[in-house]
Structure 1
Amino acid sequence: MTDDFGGENLISYTEAFLEEVVLRNLKECMQALCSCENLTEAEELGIVDICINAVVSMACQDSSLLSSPVPNKSMHSPGGSLLWNGIETGARPKKQSLDWWHEDVSMLKLPLFRRVILTTEKRGLKPEIIAGVLLCFAQRYLPGLNKRHGSREGSNSKSELLTSTSVPEDERRVILETIENLLPVRRAGVPTKFLSGLLRSSILLDASPHCRSNIERRIGLQLEQASLDDILIPNLTHNLETLYDIDCVQRILDHFLDQSTRQLSPQGSDVDGNMSHQSPSSTPMISVSKLLDRYIVEVAPDVNLKLPKFYSLIEALPDFARTSDDGLYHAIDIYLKAHPWLKEDERDQLCRLMDFQKLSPEACTHAAQNERLPLRTIIQVLFFEQLQIRTDIASCFLVSDHSYHLPHSSAHGALTSEFIPREDFAGTIRNNNALKVDIDRMKSRVNDLERECSGMRNELQKLGNVRDQGQGAPKFIGGRFRSYICRTNDGELRSQTHAKNRRSNAVLHLNTSTVHNSSQDNTS
């Protein structure tokens, strides 16, 4: 078999075949590696290492150079187009995608596949490409990696998912933990959807706590890239307390908050003290807050979701993370509808988590007519809505003052007047009429609130009379008659209302007089 006994021996033929045929074609290398998986002699002779290095070398090259095992440059013109009988056809060779070798490599068994991935990392292959290879390999062995477990319809049970493949459960658990260990360190290289699928598979296969914790940490580090389906992790524990795994999402949020605390200070500056130039709408905290609100809306209808856990979900993020509380109000409304047995103090405590100043006008209108909310919350919503109306009216007055008052621009302190166009007088009158309508509307709301408080006070007085007569008092658990809401004196409230109206009318009168005086000066 060696050259000592003669030429054209078997070793020379084998080496030539490997060099000219096997090592120049990816499929031939894969077949050789699959054949050598159970041959210890091939490992000792170095054939496995030679084939692995050839595979990695072809993967790291430009895909356009690997369209055939031995590229024939004579088939190409100087411009790069294909030639037929020496004539330029104008057609361009098709470029292969970056994942052209993923399926072939995923056919290997775990030990050789691990060696290929480690070799590609040493060669400096992009993390995105390595993550794609791992995803293709995981799809062959891990159950339900591409299935949506977050949907309520058609979700498979744990036993169905475990029996979906012929690979034993213990072997799949080892494959999962190995894939998690081979994931690139760079967080942007691994899609969040892939990490979410690995987390679901780790729950199904009962992987080690260290493996699950690492996957949760990876999701938390890039939580702003996740979608709602990525964090809807089904609860597959034995107790089945809730439909979704709330504790898992809270741990993911903790990892995200830990990372945000390290990167940004509470004042919005980075670790070096420089101010962050990101706009509020593009910061990861804002994106995660919107994602969390959608998640809370999804889990709120679960009747088994306890109030403390729902409360902790809402408080998981700081207050400044939410630019609007409309999603939070929607979630609380759904939770109150699905849990009608909550007491009045529990409802009130839950509604205090909302910032009524962050509610949109549409949400305020809905909350003012929502019978599921406590009366205290409804009054607070009306109060802040009234404050918003006052602010709008005051801003209109300021705009009117800046637009129509005569400017003072003399170096010696003298007044220099500018003429106001006559066409603006009609617009000013229309604005004043609109302000009067807003003030009348505000008066009507205050009067409605007074009548409601008076009615509740009369009901409470009747209940007190019945109690004094010894006929017993009915219990109002979670009722809408709260004594501390109606402690306001009618006379004091009416006097304050009349005073506010007088001030508003005085401001309107002053503004109208100013406009008429300016009109007379302009006419003269």
Structure 2
Amino acid sequence: MEALCDLQVDVNGEETFMVNKKILSSYSGRLGKLFSKSSCSTGNLKVIFNDFPGGAESFELVCRFCYNRSKTEITPLNATLLSCAANFMEMSNSISGHSNLIEQTEKSLEEIRHWTWSELMVALRQCQNSFPVASKSGLLERCLDSVTTRLALASERSPSPSTSSSDYSGVRFSCETKSTESLKSSFSRANWWFEDLLVIDVSLLVMMVGSMIKQKVEHAAISKFLFFYQKSKFHTAMSHEKCKIMETVVDLLHSLEPSSVPCKSLFGILRVALGLNISKGSRNKLEIMIASQIDQATLDNLLVPSPQGTNSLYDTNLVVRLVKAFLKEGTSGVPEVQLKKVANLMDLYIAEVAPDPYLKPSKFLALATVLPDSARDSFDCMYHAVDMYMEVHAGLSEEEKIKICRALNYRKLSAEACKHLSENSNFPSKIIMQALNSQEFRLKSLIRVSSNTSAFTSSPCSFSGNIKKDEAGEQIVLYAGDLDLSTDNVRLRAQLQGMQSRVTELEKLCRKMQTQMAKVLRSRVSSSHRSRSLPRLCS
């Protein structure tokens, strides 16, 4: 009499089943080929599966199908398990006219678009647990497409999809299955699916986002989900797992439309990423994304602590890289509005880091000169930052101070700033003279504008625009368009008188600064002759 249970099957070390070899091998092509090659025809045999999809639960369902002669209940909750197991066991044999297990599960999977959201989540987890087989058979892709199609429809119809729709009956809020009210309040109605998709691991996340993009899910929603995923997964992840999660999230964010990824959120994960050993490629992608919208950043965003092992307070190298990348991205020219915003932000940042006693002159100069002069209408803020830096770093050599002053455009200094500079003992005499000369050029330009324009106030006339250049080669617009002096003569004379008065004041200020400068130079020469070994006192 044939033994009823003559085969032991060890399933992934979880459980050992005693089954009938003939029954299982008649349905399973994999077992049939295995036994046909075996030299043992009698006695008990043992088969060990180390990678059976779905584990012991899935193998038990296969056994029931075989013992019930191709009859078993296939539902959305077990169709994925059975499909993966059937493909693994090569169950394409038909017995007594019944369809084989692969055919039966395929018929059930054709209805996947009608499954409820919770059934889709179960199927997704089962595919993940049976990843190699589910991926090879195409089942995983079908499951992902069904999930993301549902999400795309949800974003089109409403942020809170109805559960009564015939082709959309399974969508529900994830918070309905949670036991606490805190979880319900933690998600907006548009983000109801975030919590549910935390079940996927980082390797499946790439396929999921790829499917979302293909199904045209809004990039802004994908971006929010990725930030949520990274933050949530980090709570329980090990150090090496955090690196993998961060690199994957950054790479996926980089594939989205730049406008859909908030600058503030990028700075948030940047601070986290700096503490991890992520790849250089991922870090570069993160910095490029931030640089493309750095004009939207705040001072707090830029104040990133310096890396371990450095004495300076803030990571100035990072800020320089971000600004350079911002300028490089705008190869056809950065819009002036954006450029001005970045310049204002950099002025705030430089003023914040200037008092750092450990900030090297080369680092400070790199910050101060990373933007072109055209980005700033005034260099007063930069002057005050340079003054502050020199005051804190009193030990700088004359040569180092002159190098740092390269960051200043003296022609864009106000008269008040230039006056302060002329009396500032922190600055080398050579720099003060350069500043005074620049102011003198400005005065001559103003005087020339005033004199040239006043020549036309004696009688009414009509004239076209004219452009002249000062000695430094800068263009000065004297007048433009048609001007009827017969109607506006009184108003124009008043304006010119005001301009001439201002020029007179500037001339007086310039002469005063030159006098003060001469005194400073004489006092420095005198003190130098008296004792070269004594340090110069600050006034």
How many angstroms does 1:58 deviate by?
Answer: 1.0
- The residue that corresponds to 1:133 in the other structure is 225
Matched, 1:318 2:383: no
Instruction: Tell me the distance in 2 between the aligned counterparts of 1:463 and 1:235.
Output: 41
- The residue that corresponds to 2:34 in the other structure is none
* Counterpart mapping for 1:55-134 below 5 A: 55-63=147-155, 64=157, 67-71=161-165, 98-134=190-226
Matched, 1:199 2:262: no
- The residue that corresponds to 1:439 in the other structure is 504
Instruction: Tell me the distance in 2 between the aligned counterparts of 1:347 and 1:235.
Output: 24
Instruction: Tell me the distance in 2 between the aligned counterparts of 1:35 and 1:476.
Output: 81
**Shift in alpha-carbon separation, 1:227–1:383, aligned structure 2, 3 A:** same
How many angstroms does 1:386 deviate by?
Answer: 4.3
How many angstroms does 1:436 deviate by?
Answer: 5.9
**Shift in alpha-carbon separation, 1:218–1:423, aligned structure 2, 3 A:** closer
How many angstroms does 1:205 deviate by?
Answer: 1.6
Q: Please give the secondary structure, in 2, of the residue aligned with 1:234.
A: coil
Amino acid at match of 1:475: S
**Shift in alpha-carbon separation, 1:25–1:230, aligned structure 2, 3 A:** farther
- The residue that corresponds to 1:344 in the other structure is 398
1:247 to 306, 314, 317: 317
Instruction: Tell me the distance in 1 between the aligned counterparts of 2:166 and 2:506.
Output: 84
- The residue that corresponds to 2:417 in the other structure is 363
Instruction: Tell me the distance in 1 between the aligned counterparts of 2:502 and 2:372.
Output: 39
Amino acid at match of 1:216: E
Matched, 1:281 2:336: yes
Q: Please give the secondary structure, in 1, of the residue aligned with 2:217.
A: coil
How many angstroms does 1:332 deviate by?
Answer: 1.1
What TM-score do the two structures reach when normalised by structure 2? 0.62
Q: Mark the runs of 5 or more structure 2 residues left unpaired by the alignment.
A: 1-63, 80-106, 168-187, 464-483
Matched, 1:169 2:239: yes
Instruction: Tell me the distance in 1 between the aligned counterparts of 2:495 and 2:208.
Output: 77
- The residue that corresponds to 2:259 in the other structure is 188
How many angstroms does 1:439 deviate by?
Answer: 3.0
Instruction: Tell me the distance in 1 between the aligned counterparts of 2:301 and 2:322.
Output: 12
CA contact (8 A) 2:461 2:486 kept: no
Q: Deviations over 1:408-447 (max 9, x none)?
A: 89xxxxxxxx99689949x958965984685377346525
- The residue that corresponds to 1:80 in the other structure is none
CA contact (8 A) 2:290 2:322 kept: yes
**Shift in alpha-carbon separation, 1:249–1:428, aligned structure 2, 3 A:** closer
Q: Please give the secondary structure, in 1, of the residue aligned with 2:336.
A: coil
Instruction: Tell me the distance in 2 between the aligned counterparts of 1:286 and 1:437.
Output: 28
Q: Deviations over 1:362-410 (max 9, x none)?
A: 533443444433344344434434443444344344443323334489x
- The residue that corresponds to 1:210 in the other structure is 281
Matched, 1:259 2:351: no
Instruction: Tell me the distance in 2 between the aligned counterparts of 1:358 and 1:446.
Output: 19
* Counterpart mapping for 1:317-466 below 5 A: 317-407=371-461, 424=490, 428=493, 432=497, 435=500, 439=504, 442-443=507-508, 445-446=510-511, 449-450=514-515, 453=518, 456-457=521-522, 460=525, 464=529
Instruction: Tell me the distance in 1 between the aligned counterparts of 2:500 and 2:245.
Output: 70
Q: Please give the secondary structure, in 2, of the residue aligned with 1:70.
A: coil
How many angstroms does 1:140 deviate by?
Answer: 0.9
Instruction: Tell me the distance in 2 between the aligned counterparts of 1:198 and 1:452.
Output: 52
**Shift in alpha-carbon separation, 1:205–1:441, aligned structure 2, 3 A:** closer
Q: Please give the secondary structure, in 2, of the residue aligned with 1:10.
A: coil
**Shift in alpha-carbon separation, 1:104–1:361, aligned structure 2, 3 A:** farther
* Counterpart mapping for 1:484-495 below 5 A: none
Q: Deviations over 1:343-372 (max 9, x none)?
A: 333223322331111123453344344443
Q: Deviations over 1:7-34 (max 9, x none)?
A: 9951268669999999554345335534
How many angstroms does 1:342 deviate by?
Answer: 1.7
Amino acid at match of 2:237: V
**Shift in alpha-carbon separation, 1:210–1:403, aligned structure 2, 3 A:** same
Count of aligned positions: 404
Q: Deviations over 1:121-179 (max 9, x none)?
A: 2323343332222111112134xxxxxxxxxxxxxxxxxxxxxx332111111111221
How much identity, in percent, do the aligned residues show? 26
Q: Mark the runs of 5 or more structure 1 residues left unpaired by the alignment.
A: 74-95, 143-164, 269-277, 410-417, 467-472, 482-524
Instruction: Tell me the distance in 2 between the aligned counterparts of 1:167 and 1:434.
Output: 69
**Shift in alpha-carbon separation, 1:439–1:48, aligned structure 2, 3 A:** closer
What TM-score do the two structures reach when normalised by structure 1? 0.63
Instruction: Tell me the distance in 2 between the aligned counterparts of 1:433 and 1:257.
Output: 41
**Shift in alpha-carbon separation, 1:71–1:444, aligned structure 2, 3 A:** closer
Instruction: Tell me the distance in 2 between the aligned counterparts of 1:339 and 1:463.
Output: 22
- Shifted more, 52-61 versus 400-409: the winner is 400-409
- The residue that corresponds to 1:11 in the other structure is 74
- The residue that corresponds to 2:533 in the other structure is 475
Q: Please give the secondary structure, in 2, of the residue aligned with 1:61.
A: helix
**Shift in alpha-carbon separation, 1:460–1:286, aligned structure 2, 3 A:** closer
How many angstroms does 1:336 deviate by?
Answer: 1.6
Matched, 1:33 2:87: no
- The residue that corresponds to 1:78 in the other structure is none
**Shift in alpha-carbon separation, 1:184–1:329, aligned structure 2, 3 A:** same
CA contact (8 A) 2:423 2:516 kept: no
CA contact (8 A) 1:344 1:477 kept: no
- The residue that corresponds to 2:15 in the other structure is none
- The residue that corresponds to 1:501 in the other structure is none
Please, what is the CA RMSD of the aligned residues? 4.3
